[in-house]
Amino acid sequence: MMNGMKQKKLIKKKDWKYLIICDACRYDYFKKMYTDYLSGKLKKVLSPGSRTPEWLQRTFKGKKHDDIVYISPLPGINSKQIETETFQAVDFFHKIIDVWDWGWDEQSATVPPENINKAAIEEIESANNKRLVIHYLQPHAPYLGYDHEGGKVSAGKIRRKVKEETVINNVLNWISDKIAEPIFSKCPEWYLIKWRLGYELDILSHERPIIRAKRQSDNKKVSLFYKENLKKVLDACRNLINSIPISEDKKAIVTSDHGELLGEGGFYGHYPKSNHPILREVPWLEVTE
């Protein structure tokens, strides 16, 4: 059974100035490691989704949030009118800063946390009085420092890949929703089966580094890669917090959109529409100076 306060309720209270998202951050790992980097009041909360698109849609969709600037590491959260799977972020935020467009590191095939910090600090120094959602990709794969065989990936290739994967996902979702789901809807593991098929076929591109790690390593090594990625993003959080004004009326929250499976039950990553506690229970740290 999952336990914890609903994260969505806390976000909608607007009792924060900076909402810092560590993508795919598990509560248990965060709890053991955060005190080496940050201080504050930690509690366990329930994310409304088990993947970033679900989290975005269930947290922010429904109205325009004119008081929020979103620092984005993901082409799925963009201001470029790039069509995405489920959530057109440009319709819901005051402004989106596309760090993925200029801050993508081709060697590591991700957006390093220091580029997110650069964008966030520049936005704060611009005297913009908006609230900020500051989204780090880490500890989500690809793991920094891990040889993931990805090769160089340009921002242009990312845009093309998003469009290609959106078409593929739309086709697969139509087949599953219109044909397979009516047949298998009574099966409680249907969404897990659907995700596992894509996982094994290597369709879900953002899971590929995890799949490679799984095939090349044991669970302990995958866990070690994840911990090292978490250390890097916690260090980035500390550097950011030390560079921005924090006060009672300018609170900083460190949380996550969802968790991550690291071999539990033979699964890695995160699958959609899940109530697995590892995927839904995430940290909520109210940072203190």
Report the relative pairing of strands 5-6 and 18-22 from DSSP bridges: unpaired
Residue 186 burial (C-beta neighbours within 10 Å; 0-12, 13-18, 19+): exposed
Judge contact between 272 and 191, C-beta under 8 A. yes
Looking at residue 99, what is its pLDDT?
96
3-state secondary structure of 148: coil
pLDDT beneath 50: ranges in the chain: 147-155, 158, 162, 195, 199-209
- Tell me which amino acid residue 220 is: K
Task: Tell me what pLDDT residue 156 has.
Answer: 55
CATH, range 5-287: 3.40.720
Q: What is the value of pTM for the model shown? A: 0.80
Across the beta sheet with 18-22, what order do the strands follow? 5-6, 40-46, 281-287, 252-255, 18-22, 131-136, 65-72, 93-98
pLDDT attached to residue 267: 80
Q: What's the pLDDT at 17?
A: 96
Domain spans, the chain: 5-287
| pLDDT given for residue 173 in this prediction | 59
Per-residue pLDDT at 207: 44
235 with 114: CB under 8 angstroms? no
Q: Which of 236, 269, 246, 15 is nearest to 115 (CA)?
A: 236
Instruction: Note the pLDDT of residue 278.
Output: 95
pLDDT tens track for 176-212: 566 655 665 556 555 555 545 554 444 444 444 455 5
Q: With beta carbons less than 8 A apart as the criterion, state whether 40 and 287 touch.
A: yes
